[in-house]
Amino acid sequence: EQRVFSGVQPTGNLHLGNYLGAIKRFAELQHDYPCLYCVVDLHAITQPPSVWGGPEGLAANTREVAAAYLAAGIDPKTQIIFNQSQVPQHAELAWLFNCVARMGWLNRMTQFKEKAGKDKENASVGLFAYPTLMAADILLYRATHVPVGDDQKQHLELTRDIAQKFNNDFADSIEKNGFEDAYFPLPEPLITGPATRVMSLRDGSKKMSKSDPSDYSRIVLTDDADTIAKKIRKAKTDPEPLPSEAEGLDGRAEAENLVGLYAALSDRTRDDVLKEYGGSAFSVFKPALAELTVAKIAPIADEMRRLTADPGAVDAILSDGAEKAAEIAEKVMAEVSAIVGFVSGRKR
> Is 165 one of the catalytic residues?
no
In the complex, least distance from residue 51 CB atom to ligand AQP, rounded to whole angstroms = 7
Alpha-helical (H) ranges within 268-310 are 270-277, 282-308
Least separation in angstroms between residue 48's CB and ligand AQP is 12
Indicate if 230 belongs to the active site. Answer: no
Q: Is 208 annotated as a binding residue?
A: yes
Give the torsion sign (CA, 106, 116, 18, 196).
negative
236 φ, ψ (degrees, to nearest 5): -70, 135
Answer for which of 4, 12, 18, 261 binds ligand AQP (CB under 6 A) is: 18
What are the DSSP calls for 305-343, one per residue?
A: HHHHT-HHHHHHHHHHHHHHHHHHHHHHHHHHHHHHT--
Interaction between residue 257 and ligand AQP (CB under 6 A): no
Instruction: Report the C-alpha gap between 99 and 80 in whole angstroms.
Output: 29
Residues 6 or more apart whose Cβ sits within 8 Å of residue 312: none
Please confirm, yes or no, whether 115 is among the known catalytic residues.
yes
17, 25 Cβ separation under 8 angstroms: no
Using CB under 6 A as the binding rule, whether residue 138 contacts ligand AQP is answered as no
- DSSP 3-state of 18: helix
Q: Which of 24, 207, 231, 286 is flagged as catalytic? A: 207
Pick between residue 27 and residue 195 the one whose CB is nearest to ligand AQP: 195
Q: Which of residues 207-226 bind ligand AQP (CB under 6 A)?
A: 207-211
Strand-strand pairing, 188-190 and 35-39: unpaired
- Residue 27 in the binding site for ligand AQP (CB under 6 A): no
Is 17 annotated in some ligand binding site? yes
Residue 246 C-beta: closest distance to ligand AQP, Å: 18
Does 198 interact with ligand AQP (rule: CB under 6 A)? yes
Is 148 a binding residue for ligand AQP by CB under 6 A? The answer is yes
Question: Applying CB under 6 A, does 151 fall inside the site for ligand AQP?
Answer: yes
Q: How far is CA 68 from the centre of its chain?
A: 12
Q: Which is nearer to ligand AQP, 30 or 209 (CB)?
A: 209
What b/e sequence results for 20-38 when a residue is b if at least 16 CB atoms lie within 10 Å of its CB, and e otherwise?
bbbbbbbbebbeebbbbbb
The residue ranges that bind ligand AQP (CB under 6 A) are: 8-9, 17-18, 21-22, 148-149, 151-152, 195-198, 207-211
Q: Which residues are catalytic?
A: 115, 207, 210
Q: Which residues does the annotation place in the binding site for L-tryptophan?
A: 137
